[in-house]
């Protein structure tokens, strides 16, 4: 009989992408994976110690009806109260968690999967650390995306450099100075190696920073997918087709996905922008040989090492059901 795993998903792209990376590694004949896409009201913004082990803030509780799972994978801090609610109702359920869940109910989880840059927290026996966070980039997904997208970029001169831009993080804006600095470093890189850019940004980039960067890139051949576009998102195509990648260090998910390609990855850290946590994260990628700092002569870094913690986490989850 198959073991049933419920995956609690919120509406945030980063956490959903991490969960999907793990899910695709668990998908064997021994397990039935059921995604539970939670929807939220404004009450979900309350701290978890107030929400408690409850469905407060959930607008589609009926999604939790059905056969009781053997294991629940909670994928963000906002999904934690739902996981604890299920555990309270059904104590036999095994709880697991991606990312730090906060202190409330932390000992109820059999395993909590954390990136190494969170190792500054008080370490508990149920913590399991990985380099970086899980993601969905595999050779199979890259091959599929390459077949789908390569013709869209074929008129551009090689090498193709994917430029993946994040932006402001909590308490730390993505300043115009940092936007200019990142764009100038990329322009200097392209003056040394030639070729074209595959550019995408995010909601957090901001329209002013976007304009500044595009002005600096104006003489470089490029394909772009900018925040607000209604076109099909080519990000996976960028990962698949790029010869090298530049990523801003504010996004753990984007950096980990880029490092999953095995291609040279250059990370922009900026000035007075990244938090100590982000800097611990980028250092773990540099120390592990997955990426290097975006700077003069960074192109001598040839990459080749693939970051893929999804399989490690999936293996740990499956062992809990052995």
The mean pLDDT value of the chain amounts to 95
pLDDT of residue 298: 98
- Does the predicted TM-score (pTM) go above 0.75? yes
Tokens standing for 13? 């792209």
pLDDT in tens, 3-40: 999 999 998 877 888 999 999 999 788 999 999 999 99
Confidence check: pLDDT of 137 > 80: yes
For each of the domains in the chain, give its residue range(s) and CATH number, in order of start.
3-131+310-320 (3.40.50.2000), 139-300 (3.40.50.2000)
pLDDT in tens, 62-94: 999 988 999 999 999 999 999 999 999 999 999
């Amino acid at each position: 009989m198959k073991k049933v795993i419920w995956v609690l998903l919120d509406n945030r792209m980063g956490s959903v992408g991490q969960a999907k990376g793990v899910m695709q590694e668990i998908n064997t004949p021994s397990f039935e994976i059921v995604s539970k896409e939670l929807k939220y009201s404004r009450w979900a913004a309350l701290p978890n110690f107030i929400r408690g082990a409850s469905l407060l803030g959930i607008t589609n509780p009926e999604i939790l009806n059905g056969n009781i799972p053997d294991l629940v994978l909670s994928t963000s801090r906002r999904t934690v109260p739902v996981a604890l609610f299920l555990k309270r109702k059904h104590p036999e359920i095994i709880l697991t968690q991606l990312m730090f869940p906060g202190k409330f109910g932390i000992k109820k989880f059999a395993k909590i999967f954390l990136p190494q840059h969170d190792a500054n927290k008080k370490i508990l026996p149920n913590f399991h650390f990985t380099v970086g966070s899980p993601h969905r980039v595999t050779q199979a997904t890259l091959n599929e995306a390459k077949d789908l997208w390569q013709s869209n970029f074929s008129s551009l001169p090689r090498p193709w450099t994917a430029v993946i831009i994040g932006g402001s993080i909590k308490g730390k804006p993505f300043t115009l100075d940092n936007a200019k600095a990142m764009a100038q470093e990329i322009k200097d890189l392209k003056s040394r190696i030639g070729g074209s850019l595959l550019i995408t940004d995010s909601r957090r980039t901001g329209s002013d920073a976007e304009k500044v960067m595009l002005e600096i890139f104006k003489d470089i051949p490029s394909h772009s997918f900018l925040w607000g576009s209604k076109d099909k998102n080519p990000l996976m195509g960028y990962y698949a087709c790029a010869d090298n990648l530049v990523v801003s260090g504010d996004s753990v998910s984007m950096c980990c996905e880029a490092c999953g390609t095995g291609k040279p990855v250059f990370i922009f850290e900026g000035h007075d922008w990244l938090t100590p946590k982000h800097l611990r994260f980028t250092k773990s990628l540099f120390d592990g040989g997955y990426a290097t700092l975006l700077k003069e002569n960074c192109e001598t870094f040839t990459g080749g090492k693939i970051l893929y913690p999804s399989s490690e986490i999936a293996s740990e989850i499956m062992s809990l059901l052995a």
